[in-house]
Chain A
């Protein structure tokens, strides 16, 4: 990144909004559709102001009918449009799971390559705001299980600003998971930034001693942990997966091959999570490079509780990450 380049300071929310606005300006086929995206301004205020700018045809409020409007997004994509469908939060996406899994993910294949689905679905994910179990799920790992979908988890301002561009260029359905706790996060958008790759993971902090592999909301906790580890003499590398499907094997394996230790931090539940997949891939691809078994810090296997102390205890937190890394490092830590 060019240090002298002028940067702009903005929130994650604003970066998302700029991305959507630009998409609407750039391509008349793009429209945003979802519950309360228009008059209300988006339940996380991402689309605030867009209705006034683009009108109700393109900033389209929908009834509470996840299955119908997600499926309508699929049909509209097949009909030549480039819909961005917003699902308020990932928990409600389960009402549209049939459309996402049985239609969006399968039609290209079932039709022998005749119909692609250039659809983008955005939704908020994750916990940490004391909103109880039904509003705190992290199911992006589930969706990453499904061939035919691409799964993105923008964790930084630059990705929030630019992943949508690439997603809209993609001929296949792309799901973007935006962690609830990130919308208010402020950061710098490098002046020269532009469309980001949606096939590659990225090293956010180079290091030599251990690979901390994470994505989305947890990434920031991992970066903090890495900073706390530095004065202890542990130089941690932070890998941001940012694309959960397709998983970028090469970057993961390359990092672990250099550091010989890996810790995966994932807000999903441990059993059957994306962390399990990453761990298995390290075992398959870099087993003999490992000095210690791969470690994982995941969400406790409970529905996310409401009470703050319980919610905090359920989720991956910086001190646990630091402790786990120290344990991985053995006596050297």
Chain B
């Protein structure tokens, strides 16, 4: 169905499709640069890359409007970027500069941006789920029709908070779009070694939440599923659950020697690289030309270069401001 529409290459449709590709490439290039900057000690702390999973954030974000809320995890650069948080302020945050979106107090794992309703950046597995439930409750109580999208890894389903939140969101029919990014590993713990029941949709269904598995390497599949789910959520029927089946090509964090999985497995998944898959499809359909691709790559490179320049030029928050933002005060920006 969707493929037919694509092949007709109506102008806005082509633009839209190229946009999806562009966004995936933007995340990929941004994070490749992050890895480089990490090796150069420009970025410190924990750095969790999203490389391989780009189709999920890009696809899902297509279902959200500017008034919708977003709650993410520590692997959230891609979500922030696609949500509209400028690459400059994300990278400056990773540098720890006061021009960063969290004024250098958050770092890679704690991207926040009020203007884009980006509610973090949470480093506790499962920690963002109750916040999403609460944001949705606030919307419902105030009669707004926003959706709160909540991203989390499959590792979170083992936490009590996941079950508490599934129950609460379903019980109160709250507008939450639960986006589980199942990349098969929680650090080194494979799903099948940590869960007695590995069918995640079944878990959500047991709370009376409609749940669908999605091919997380296929950006259009991600987008369509998210749009369908968001529509149901917006209609007031309560939460939906999507299990995006994806894979991270890189280590869990920059410290991880990946002893827990075979190289061959990674290579197999890389054959389904969401960017290459989609690029090839667009080419076959005649939507993407070499010039288009070069344009996208140049644009992404420029965006990354600008972010690096911005972060490098950033300044340090004065030490005198150390204890600002512990409590609210009138000098808050």
- Do A and B belong to a common assembly? yes
Interface residues of A (CB under 8 A from B): 31, 57, 62-63, 65, 67-81, 83, 98-99, 102-103, 107-116, 147-148, 150, 171-172
Pick the contact of B102 from A57, A79, A112 — CB < 8 Å? Answer: A112
Q: Does B24 contact A (CB under 8 A)?
A: no
Q: Are B164 and A75 in contact (CB under 8 A)?
A: no
Per a CB cutoff under 8 Å, which of B101, B120, B165, B171 touches A107? B120
B-side interface residues, number (CB < 8 Å): 48
Q: Is the CB of B134 within 8 A of A115?
A: no
A102: min CB distance to chain B, Å: 5
Q: Is there a chain A Cβ closer than 8 Å to B129's Cβ?
A: yes
Shortest C-beta distance, A60 to chain B (Å), equals 8
Of the listed stretches B29-37, B56-64, B103-111, B252-260, name the one at the interface; the rest are far from the partner chain. Answer: B103-111
- Smallest CB-CB separation from B165: which chain A residue? A68
CB closest residue in chain B, given A69:
B168
Which of A68, A147, A171 meets B130, CB within 8 Å? A68
List the 9 closest pairs (A to B, CB-CB), nearest first: A75-B134, A71-B130, A79-B138, A112-B103, A68-B164, A111-B112, A65-B164, A72-B134, A171-B328
Q: Give chain A residues whose Cβ lies under 8 Å from the Cβ of B160.
A: 67
Contacts of B131 in A (CB 8 A): 71-72, 74-75, 78, 103
Add 8 more A-B contacts to A67-B160, A71-B129, A99-B127 (CB < 8 A): A65-B167, A69-B168, A72-B137, A75-B132, A79-B135, A98-B161, A103-B131, A109-B326
Task: Tell me which residues from 137 to 168 in chain B have a Cβ below 8 Å from any Cβ of chain A.
Answer: 137-139, 141-142, 148, 160-161, 164-165, 167-168
Cα distance A107–B106 in the bound complex, in angstroms: 9
Which of A65, A69, A76, A171 has a CB less than 8 Å from the CB of B141? A76
B296 to chain A, nearest CB (A): 31
Complex Cα gap A198–B103 (Å): 29
- Assess the B161–A71 pair: CB atoms within 8 A: yes
Q: Flag if A114 contacts B130 (CB, 8 Å).
A: no
Whether, in the assembled complex, B113 has its beta carbon less than 8 Å from a beta carbon of chain A, the answer is: yes
Any chain A CB within 8 A of the CB of B182? no
- Residues in A with CB closer than 8 Å to B137 are 72, 75-76, 79, 81
Decide: B327 and A111 in contact? CB cutoff 8 A.
Answer: no
**Nearest B-chain residue to A117, judged by Cβ:** B328
With A65-B164, A112-B106, A113-B333 in contact, do A80 and B142 touch (Cβ < 8 Å)? yes
Please, which residues of chain A bring their CB within 8 A of the CB of B133?
A: 68, 71-72, 75
Are A79 and B328 also in contact (CB < 8 A) when A71-B129, A110-B110 are?
Answer: no
Contact A68–B112 (Cβ < 8 Å): no
CB nearest to A83 among chain B residues: B134
Whether B105 lies near A74 (C-beta < 8 A) is: no
Q: Which residues of B contact A70 (CB under 8 A)?
A: 130
Q: Do residues A110 and B168 form an inter-chain contact, with CB atoms below 8 A?
A: no
B69 near A79 with CB under 8 A, answer: yes
Chain B residues with CB below 8 A from A107, complex form? 112, 120
- Inter-chain contact B134/A79, CB cutoff 8 Å: yes
Chain B proximity of A34: nearest CB distance (Å): 13
Question: Does B78 belong to the interface (CB within 8 Å)?
Answer: no
Cβ-closest chain A residue relative to B166: A68
Contact A63 B164 (CB under 8 A): yes
Q: Which residues of B contact A80 (CB under 8 A)?
A: 138, 142
Question: Cα distance A155–B324 when bound, in Å?
Answer: 31
CA distance A57 to B164 in the complex (A): 19
The answer to whether the Cβ of B82 comes within 8 Å of any Cβ in the partner chain is no
Per the bound structure, the CA–CA distance linking A77 and B119 in Å amounts to: 12
Which residues of chain A are within 8 angstroms of B264 by Cβ–Cβ distance?
none
Given contacts A109-B325, A112-B104, whether A63 and B171 have CB atoms under 8 Å apart is yes
CA distance A99 to B161 in the complex (A): 10
B114 on interface, CB distance cutoff 8 Å: yes
**C-beta contact mask, B71-99 vs A, less than 8 Å → 1, else 0?**
10000000000000000000000000000
Q: Please, which residues of chain B bring their CB within 8 A of the CB of A74? A: 130-131, 134
Name the A residues within 8 Å of B105 (CB-CB): 109-112
Q: How far is the CA of A98 from the CA of B326 in the complex (A)?
A: 18
Q: Mark B280-307, 1 if CB is under 8 A from A, else 0.
A: 0000000000000000000000000000
For the complex, give the distance between the alpha carbons of A145 and B100 in Å. 29
- B314-333 vs A, Cβ < 8 Å mask (1 yes, 0 no): 00000000001111100011
- Alpha-carbon distance between A67 and B124 when the two chains are bound, in angstroms: 13
CB distance from A159 to the nearest CB of B (A): 21
Report A-chain residues with C-beta under 8 Å of the C-beta of B141: 31, 57, 76, 81
Determine if B122 is an interface residue (Cβ-Cβ < 8 Å).
Answer: yes
Are B134 and A102 in contact (CB-based, < 8 A)?
no
Considering the complex, give the chain A residue whose CB is closest to the CB of B150. Answer: A75
Determine the chain B residues whose CB is within 8 A of the CB of A114 once the complex forms: 102, 112-114
26 inter-chain pairs at a CB distance below 8 angstroms, sorted by A residue, are A31-B141, A63-B164, A67-B161, A68-B133, A68-B164, A69-B168, A70-B130, A71-B127, A72-B133, A72-B134, A75-B136, A76-B137, A77-B138, A79-B142, A102-B123, A102-B124, A102-B127, A103-B124, A103-B131, A108-B327, A110-B102, A110-B112, A110-B121, A111-B110, A113-B333, A148-B326
- B101, B113, B325: most-surrounded residue (chain A CB, <10 A): B325
The interface residues of chain A lying within 8 Å CB-to-CB of B327 are 108, 148, 150, 171-172
Residues of A within 8 A of B135 (CB): 75-76, 78-79
